[in-house]
Amino acid sequence: MPSEYLMNFDQQAFLKDYWQKKPLLIKGGLAAWDNPITADELAGLALEEEVESRLIEAQPVIDSVTKSQWSLEHGPFAEQRFSSLGEKNWTLLVQAVDHYAPEVAQLLTYFGFIPGWQIDDVMVSYATKGGGVGPHYDRYDVFLVQGQGQREWQIGQRCSKHTALQDGQALSLLTEFNCEQSYTLSAGDILYVPPYVSHWGTALDNNCMTYSVGFRSPSQAEMLDDYSGFMQDVLSEDDRFRDATLSASAAGAIDEQTIDSLALMLSERLRDKNHLRHWFGRWASQTKYSVTNTQDESIENNNAEDLIINEIDFNNTDLVICRDSASRFYYIDENKKEGTQLLLFVNGREIHLGGELEVLPDLLKASIKTLCNQQSFSAEQLQPWLNDPANYNVLAELFENGELYSE
């Protein structure tokens, strides 16, 4: 499905004036959106071993709200745990619900004005009256979408890595919270909160469900570490550091010319856009969790007549093809002298297309973009893959892995 559009929302003004700068309430931004998952279904996910979930209970202290007592439990949970909970002051949070529920993944189509690789996941919370996770800040952008019920959000001061946190808490809660704005969100309302802006949400009823569209905020150290691992596979034994700019200096000294030479060598590696493209595509498309429906064996170990792709009529304009909601598909336009090539990345893999062709046909490039930009599309849009045996095999593997499927 192509990107949908939020109501009462100016994309250009948002990106210019609010993105990573200041909070924004989008009243009725998803007024026509139906809450896609029930509280019971969310609790069912929290019973599963492979699903990351948390249960938070609050016991407010009357004389000091920021010193309330909070308890944290990690899932998976036994079914009877939920029946033992009280009628208020608790919250169930389930991470990456979009990976397990395609109907929740559809929520992301409304945020198509932000590059998909920046989106981390959709966390869903169910809370009873008084439930919440306390005063805190995130290191990433987040859109807080109210699915049902009501929640009050207080927006506080901007924080930093030096902001004091409460001692003895399992959660990273602020020792001081100064409310500057307060909003009450009903179903369909959205609150955008930039990184490091403190906020505190509290459920106002026993029917409160909130969808947190979180964005990726990887540390530079993490990215450099991953890139260095990629370069270890790229560089050969003959790629070595030899300082050819020696100057007369004491035997025990590391002179400034050596540091300059080292800085030049490393900066040249980081300026190599070709290597950066190939690394970043693989890094960005890595899934948050393992794609559980991916098979271990490649299609080469299956009989051709048994392939799933053989059951698909690519001439059927009514047949819908879907991407697995846990999978990540991205492309990069790579400019070459002989034309524009397209690099395709799926779940941390670089997919090689075109067989012996240096430049992909325009129809195939358009099909790849459709595959990466849309969660679902017509089967006939994949026809350009069928014209080359190598591309056909790649497409077959995507279906065999469960990364694509017909609806």
For 3-19, what is each residue's pLDDT tens digit?
A: 689 999 999 999 999 99
- pLDDT confidence band for 38 (50 / 70 / 90): very high
**Distance between CA atoms of 191 and 183, rounded to whole angstroms?**
9
205 in Cβ contact with 131 (< 8 Å)? no
Q: At what angle do helices 220-234 and 273-284 cross, to 10 degrees?
A: 120
Pseudo-torsion of CA 43, 48, 50, 55, nearest 10°?
A: 40
Alpha-carbon 235 to chain mean position: 30
> Measured between alpha carbons, how far is 231 from 279 in angstroms, rounded to an integer?
9
For 204, phi and psi rounded to 5 degrees?
-100, -5
Kindly provide the residue ranges of all beta strands, DSSP E only, lying in 296-357, ordered along the sequence.
320-323, 329-336, 339-346, 349-351
Position 251 pLDDT exceeds 80? no
Mean pLDDT across the chain: 88
* 251's tokens: 């035997």
Structure tokens at 116: 């998909």
Give the separation between CA 80 and CA 180, rounded to whole angstroms: 40
pTM of the predicted model as reported, rounded to 2 decimal places: 0.87
Distance CA 20, CA 34 (A): 28
pLDDT higher for 1 or 67? Answer: 67
Q: Can you tell me the mean pLDDT for 301-327?
A: 81
Q: What stretch(es) of the chain map to CATH 2.60.120.650?
A: 11-215
Rg (CA), the chain: 25
Digit-coded pLDDT (tens) for 125-141: 999 999 999 999 999 99
Kindly report the backbone phi and psi dihedral angles of residue 123, in degrees, each rounded to the nearest multiple of 5, phi listed first: -90, 135
**Domain at 11-215, CATH homologous superfamily:** Cupin (2.60.120.650)
Per-residue confidence at 255, pLDDT binned at 50, 70, 90?
Answer: confident
CA distances from 403 to 63, 96, 246, 367, 395 (A): 53, 17, 54, 16, 10
Strand order from edge to edge, sheet including 181-185: 181-185, 151-158, 197-203
* Helix (H) or strand (E) run with residue 24 in it: strand 24-26
pLDDT in tens, 367-403: 999 999 999 999 999 999 998 899 999 999 999 999 9
